[in-house]
Structure formats: C-alpha cells, structure tokens
Amino acid sequence: MSLGNLWASRGDASRAEKHYRQALKLDSGFIAGYVNLADSLRSQTGGEAAAERVLRSGIAASRSNLPLIATAPLHYALGLNLVRQQRHTEAIKSLTEATRRDPNNSRYAYVLGVALHSRGQAKQGISVLEKL
C-alpha cells in the first residue's frame, strides 16, 4: 500500500495500481486498498467505470464481521464516483449508506446534504446538515 501511495504521489498511476492490487492480493478485506486503487484508476482516462467496479468489489468482499463503520469509506467513495458519472440517484443512496455506517463523519453528512439539496431535495439536505 505504501509503495502504491509513493507512486501515486509521483504521478505514476500504473505503478501505483500495481502495488494497490498487490495489497489486495495479500488482504482482500483491506478497505483502504480498494479506495486507493479506485482513486488511481479514476485518474486514468475513462477510469470512472473501472473505479466503480473496484469499489463495488470491495463492498462485496467486505467481511461480515467488520463493524459497519469500517466499510463506510467504500460507500462514500462509490457515492462520489457515481456523482462524477452523473448517476445522482444511485450516488445519494451510496452517500446515505456511508453516513448511516459512520454517522459521526461530518464530511460524509456534508456531502450527502449538498447532494440532496442540489437534486431538488432541499428539505432533506438541510435536515442532514442541521444534524451536523
């Protein structure tokens, strides 16, 4: 994972991808590995679809014995991915799930509130933001 981060910071997405994939081979339940791999793929041309597949596979591979909060970053990253793909209804579902899994994460709640508001659900968006 650290080598992937190193190469990502140097702008070498293909080397970063290689190391993130290796990290996931070593531990298929490593949440940060999926998030970082998806981010690396996203930086490449046409990478949103590939990033979505990685995030969904991370959600599917999440161990059932993990606390809900542990998988919140996958749902949040998927929500952002879906927003970038203009799939707003699905994005709101993922962002809602991230917020449900980690209700104390103000970033998740803020992004959900803004997403709801921007999709014409101002009352719901404001409600989420007021709870912050």
CA 57 to centroid of chain Cα atoms: 12
pLDDT tens, residue by residue, 68-80: 899 999 999 999 9
Report the distance separating Cα 34 and Cα 55, nearest Å.
6
Q: What is the pLDDT of residue 62?
A: 85
In angstroms, what CA-CA distances link 103 with 89, 95, 96, 98?
20, 11, 10, 8
The vertex-28 CA angle with 24 and 30, nearest 5°, equals 75
Report the distance separating Cα 51 and Cα 17, nearest Å.
11
Residue ranges of domains in the chain, CATH in brackets: 1-63 (1.25.40.10), 67-132 (1.25.40.10)
Nearest-CA neighbor of 33 among 3, 65, 12? 3
pLDDT, mean of residues 46-51: 89
Report the distance separating Cα 46 and Cα 33, nearest Å.
20
Task: Quote the percentage of the chain above a pLDDT of 90.
Answer: 83
